[in-house]
Structure 1
Amino acid sequence: MKNTEKLKNYLVDKDDAYLLNKNNNGNVIMISGKWGSGKTHFWQNEIETSLKKEQKNKKKAYSYVSLYGKTNIESIEMDLFMNAYNSVIGDADIVSKMCSTSLSYGKKMGSIFSTVVTAVTAGAVKFDSGKVFKEVENLIDDDKFTKAGEFLNDGGVVCFDDFERKSKEIDLNDLFGFITQLTLNFKCKVVIILNSDVFEGKEKEIFTTVKEKTVSKYLMFNPTCEELFDMIFKEEKYKSLKNDSETRDEEKIEIVLKNTFCKVGIVNARILIQVLDNVLEWYSKHRVCTPFYLEYFILVNINFILNHHIFVATLDKEDISKTFQYKFGEIERHESNYKDATNSRIKSDVEYLSTEIMAYISDSKMIYNQKVIENLKTEALLYEKNNGTKSKEADYGTILLDFINSNESLIKSLHFMNYFNIDIHRESNNQAEVDILNEINNFIETGIL
């Protein structure tokens, strides 16, 4: 079973699914994975829909809170309780939501948390919202936050996303303390979604120590390229890119897209979505989406996102001369012959055809990855060490290293181009082909068709 299927089944699909089982009330679970691997997309598209339905049927709250940009605990509280109320009742005040995003609002409002806990534990006694929200006292019903607490109590689910993107103004100890009190006082389940290995220095030490005391269950989000593609491509907006069943597999847009992404090894939801959206725009306006052009489109777009360089296609005269040698003699016959050939090169003013760099890139048999720079630097340092007694050659090693340091993205693009044969991506070898390839290049570079 795929990683995404296992997680979905474990969290919401099976009869005793973790998030639906009352025995897990008061627990904190952490879902971690690599940056950009699609954790939020998975949660919102595979988990949230069914979870919301289940929670609403039980009149229990579901509250999703992104910590991105949050500068204080109070603003997190505001979002948490308003979303909890809205998940069951609906129609939360827009003004309240607007207030929760204000950078200074949380500092004015005091603590909602203690007031709600008091109200809920005292039998849903109403509190005076005017004392908590002076700026909006006429716009918020007195009992909304009390009801939000009731809906969270004994079975609510809270999801904190973008955990690592919180403001540095929020102390990790305080944040985990707030989460602990939330689970203790309301017996709700809390889900934390974050990138693995994101905190540094003192925060990393605090995170490592405090999470062990707070988190009950750790889950790893680790989809394959195929899984991530399938999860994203099934969105309704990509429906027009799906061919009918009679189309041969090797010509189906979906198959070409998936195979090309997986050939590069992209497991990054943001890159996948960006490229798919560009393909969708190209297809809706241009309709030239044969496997040949589609593969070129994807490769060029991925390289532009990763390495910030675009390509230029040209129609050149290529020498296809042949030399014949008789089997039992030394007499040779040479025939010169030239033909049109489509070629692509990197669009750059930098002279990058260094013999050593190009030789290393051309001879490199490693799977495409970002270690090409590190390996090239090692080669340059070794070259300088081995030729240290010859001043000119030793100087050249230094020059080579300086060039590598100054042109990392260019070298990565060269490696990408060479490994995936973009430079000789050709089919018809005519001007019409070159024009379409350059139209693709221009669209990727400018964003405009």
Structure 2
Amino acid sequence: MSIGIIENQIGRFLASEAPEVMSIKGAWGVGKTYAWNKYLANAKNQKKIALKKYSYVSLFGINSLEDLKFSIFENMVDEKSIGRRPTVESFKASTAELLKTLGKRSFSIIPSNPTMIHYHSMIESLSFLSLEKTIICIDDFERKGHNIEAQDILGLMTQLKEQKKCKVVLILNDESLSEGSSVDYIKLREKVIDTELRFAPTAEDCVEIVLTGNKIEQQLGEHIIKLGINNIRIIKKIEKLSALLVPLLKSYEDPVLSQALRTVTLLTWCYYGQGNDTPDYNFVSSRNSAFSDLDDEIVLSTQQQIWCSILRNYDNYAVDEFDQQIARLVENGYVDEVRFLEEAAVLNEKVLAAYSENSFKEAWKKFNESFDADDQEVISCLSASFKHNAKYISPVNLDGTVRLLRYLGKEPL
């Protein structure tokens, strides 16, 4: 199912008041929650959300239906606050609305000498009453506590839809469900789930969802697409780590930054990736020759041959000392600035040398294509390039140029 269809389905879901249960399922890290939050925010900004209350709950660590019900209540915010974390103030507002709904009946429930424990117990018991016409997102179904059954959660979702007129979205990694939860989900989804979406974005989809399109992110996006990375969690890590490198490389030539972005993309993917075809991090970070796999004395497994194929398609990637410093960043989460900048300076010198060599070759080309060996403009161009690039020109080219200028009687140059 394409991302466009997913976005349209979520938009339809949010724009309607009709009670409904939707599930969004997909593999680890593909960005199910990220996409839901983005499309929810877009709908809010476009004023296309029909219901006026929203609650987001992660099932991680929740061990009872009572805990789940209260968690939904305490995380409830109004439509205008979607995208912000629930606060004490939002909880007070929900509690006040609950007491207002109960009216005079609430006084008969409050003990004659209430304590904070009494108030908390009362609110916890009554909180479910206020969950009417609310958009509820229940996330991390596969990470629920051991003491709460999957079928009970699905039953609560049905109750929220049918009795409370709520719209419920369930987000889950169906590949990581326990055997019991998977059986319950498959058995009950026909009765509980109205719309079931498979979220499986391509690398291009992920780049469009996550990256904003500035110059740096365009480069990252190209590398991500080339490697086929469709895991938004990993892409966010790439984005975060690259943000640590960019300010340090402002004074260096563009190819230095380009190599940094290319390397941090690959190594981060290899370090955090869980796919079968994701190259092994140690294998990649120790590959210091682009042609090492062509050595007849090295026997590679089928899997390693696949990894080598990926690296060959990635500009025949091999690490150097500069890349090794980026590897330390990926592993440790911080930059050793002294060592990193030392290697960046070395790489920068190589880039300048390459520039100079190319510039000098262009001057030679101009001379070779000239019909007049005594053309002063051509000779001046060659001489100027020689002087400007002498530091980087190879000894062979230096010697050849000096001999040529002497031959032409231009020794004073």
The offset of 1:6, in angstroms, is 2.7
Deviations 1:215-265 (A, max 9, x none): 11112222221111121112xxxx8xx23xxxxxxxxx3333122112221
Structure 2 CA distance for partners of 1:130 and 1:267, relative to 1, 3 Å:
farther
For 1:35-54, list aligned pairs within 5 A: 35-48=28-41, 50-51=43-44, 54=47
Asked if 1:225 corresponds to 2:188, the answer is no
For 1:172-321, list aligned pairs within 5 A: 172-234=150-212, 242-243=214-215, 253-287=216-250, 290=255, 291-306=258-273, 307-309=280-282, 311=285
Q: Which amino acid aligns with 2:6?
A: L
Question: Do 2:53 and 2:134's aligned partners in 1 also have CA atoms closer than 8 Å?
Answer: yes
Asked if 1:31 corresponds to 2:9, the answer is no
Could you tell me how far apart the structure 2 residues matched to 1:304 and 1:9 are? 34
Q: Name structure 2 gaps, 5 residues minimum.
A: 274-279, 336-413
Question: Do 1:126 and 1:143's aligned partners in 2 also have CA atoms closer than 8 Å?
Answer: no
The offset of 1:196, in angstroms, is 2.8
> By percentage of residues, which structure has more helix?
2
Structure 2 CA distance for partners of 1:281 and 1:345, relative to 1, 3 Å:
farther
Question: Do 2:2 and 2:201's aligned partners in 1 also have CA atoms closer than 8 Å?
Answer: yes
Q: Which amino acid aligns with 2:8?
A: N
The offset of 1:435, in angstroms, is 4.0
For 1:80-159, list aligned pairs within 5 A: 80-84=72-76, 94=88, 125-126=105-106, 128=109, 135-137=116-118, 149-150=129-130, 152-153=131-132, 155-159=133-137
Could you tell me how far apart the structure 2 residues matched to 1:202 and 1:141 are? 34
The offset of 1:171, in angstroms, is 0.8
Q: Which amino acid aligns with 2:332?
A: T
Residue number among 331, 334, 339 corresponding to 1:448 in the alignment: 334
Question: Could you say which residue in structure 1 is the equivalent of 2:3?
Answer: 4
Structure 2 CA distance for partners of 1:18 and 1:443, relative to 1, 3 Å:
closer
Q: Name structure 1 gaps, 5 residues minimum.
A: 98-111, 244-252, 315-341, 347-351, 369-411, 426-433
Question: Do 1:59 and 1:88's aligned partners in 2 also have CA atoms closer than 8 Å?
Answer: no
> By percentage of residues, which structure has more strand?
1
Larger radius of gyration: 2
TM-score where L is the length of structure 2: 0.63
Question: Do 1:311 and 1:344's aligned partners in 2 also have CA atoms closer than 8 Å?
Answer: no
Question: Could you say which residue in structure 1 is the equivalent of 2:70?
Answer: 78
Deviations 1:312-361 (A, max 9, x none): 586xxxxxxxxxxxxxxxxxxxxxxxxxxx76989xxxxx9974326x56
Does the residue aligned with 2:176 lie in a helix, a strand or coil? Answer: coil
Could you tell me how far apart the structure 2 residues matched to 1:422 and 1:445 are? 23
TM-score where L is the length of structure 1: 0.58
Aligned residues: 314
Structure 2 CA distance for partners of 1:3 and 1:145, relative to 1, 3 Å:
farther
Percent identical across equivalent pairs? Answer: 22
Question: Do 1:55 and 1:62's aligned partners in 2 also have CA atoms closer than 8 Å?
Answer: no
Does the residue aligned with 1:9 lie in a helix, a strand or coil? Answer: helix
Question: Do 1:85 and 1:144's aligned partners in 2 also have CA atoms closer than 8 Å?
Answer: no
Cα RMSD, aligned residues only = 4.2
Structure 2 CA distance for partners of 1:134 and 1:356, relative to 1, 3 Å:
farther
